[in-house]
Amino acid sequence: MSVSAISIRGARKHYGPLQALAGVDLEIRQGEFFGLLGPNGAGKTTLISALAGLTRLDDGVLEVMGHDVVSDYRNARRQLGVVPQELVFDPFFTVREALRLQSGYFGLTRNDAWIDEILEHLDLTAKADANMRMLSGGMKRRVLVAQALVHRPPVIVLDEPTAGVDVELRQGLWAFIRKLNTDGHTIVLTTHYLEEAEALCHRIAMLKAGRIVALDTTSNLLHRFSTHALRVRLAEPIGLDFLPGAREAGDGWVEIPFERYGEVEDMLSRIRLTGGRIEEMVLGEPDLEKVFVGVMHAA
């Protein structure tokens, strides 16, 4: 039986009176594209910092590919690449020099072929000899991704990797990350762009106040915590008692939840029989944003 890509058991961390992690248990399998979601202050960055060896837990065990991040930290760090949320860079080096320097931290001295491949995939080839301080914010973020990949880690953690990045770059970045996942790399993503998590992640854990409050496949979360919705804009207001779960959504719109598309015809028929006149209609699919809001409110 293969080891987990990431194993977290009983992770606890306090900063004075603040409880950042309150006993997190989590197993992320090799080859997964895993989402770690939560509001600000939920404990996501603390957990990533502990995995990367930047902070020490008060209690608990963290392993990367079977290597304890404290007792076997050298091997644990070799297995892990982290793209931090903050734009951290050295202003005295070009892009290529920064990547060569990062390679050297892992004892890699003949890594130029892989560096060239990373530069090409991240559309950085034209900027390879540009000084880091001359790059735009989006370009600097690409370099952070490249630095996390120079030692070919099997596990890659992306902490808000597309914050402040334009749409074209975001699409190119995700195409490259998808390829890495297809090639066998384990990807762990934190993001506030929930549509990204919904499209990319196979499983998702949601954190609140340092605890996991939901953990399941993306499809199961969408099925369990969200429903379809029929939205209609009526010419004149009508009573909604005859439509279970219906609510006014403002500007004449009414939102009615449903489970199966076969229910829509009956709902429209009821509206007509009650004298309602529909001016516009939209069928809404379940989405992760509704799931997230519902889970956070219920937790």
Residues 206 and 215: their CA atoms lie apart, in Å, by: 6
Q: What is the pLDDT of residues 198-223, one digit of tens each?
A: 999 999 999 999 999 999 999 888 87
Enumerate residues 6+ apart whose C-beta is below 8 A from 260.
Answer: none
Which of the residue ranges 58-72, 171-185, 208-222, 274-288 would you say has the lowest mean pLDDT? 274-288
Residues 246 and 241: their CA atoms lie apart, in Å, by: 8
Q: What is the pLDDT of residues 253-273, one digit of tens each?
A: 888 888 778 888 888 888 888
Q: Report the pLDDT averaged over residues 68-92.
A: 90
**pLDDT attached to residue 49:** 93
Which of the residue ranges 96-105, 131-140, 284-293 would you say has the lowest mean pLDDT? 284-293
Q: Report the pLDDT averaged over residues 234-244.
A: 82
**pLDDT attached to residue 163:** 72
**pLDDT attached to residue 270:** 86
pLDDT at residue 32 above 80? yes
125 DSSP assignment:
G
Helix (H) or strand (E) holding 87: none
91 DSSP assignment:
T
pTM for the predicted model, two decimal places: 0.82
Instruction: Write phi, then psi, for 70 (nearest 5 degrees).
Output: -105, -60
Enumerate residues 6+ apart whose C-beta is below 8 A from 120.
Answer: none
Of 57, 80, 103, which Cα lies nearest the Cα of 157? 80
pLDDT at residue 226 above 70? no
Instruction: Write phi, then psi, for 281 (nearest 5 degrees).
Output: -150, 140
pLDDT at residue 15 above 90? yes
Beta strands in the chain (DSSP E): 6-15, 18-28, 33-37, 59-64, 67-68, 80-83, 155-159, 186-190, 203-208, 211-217, 228-234, 247-250, 253-258, 278-284
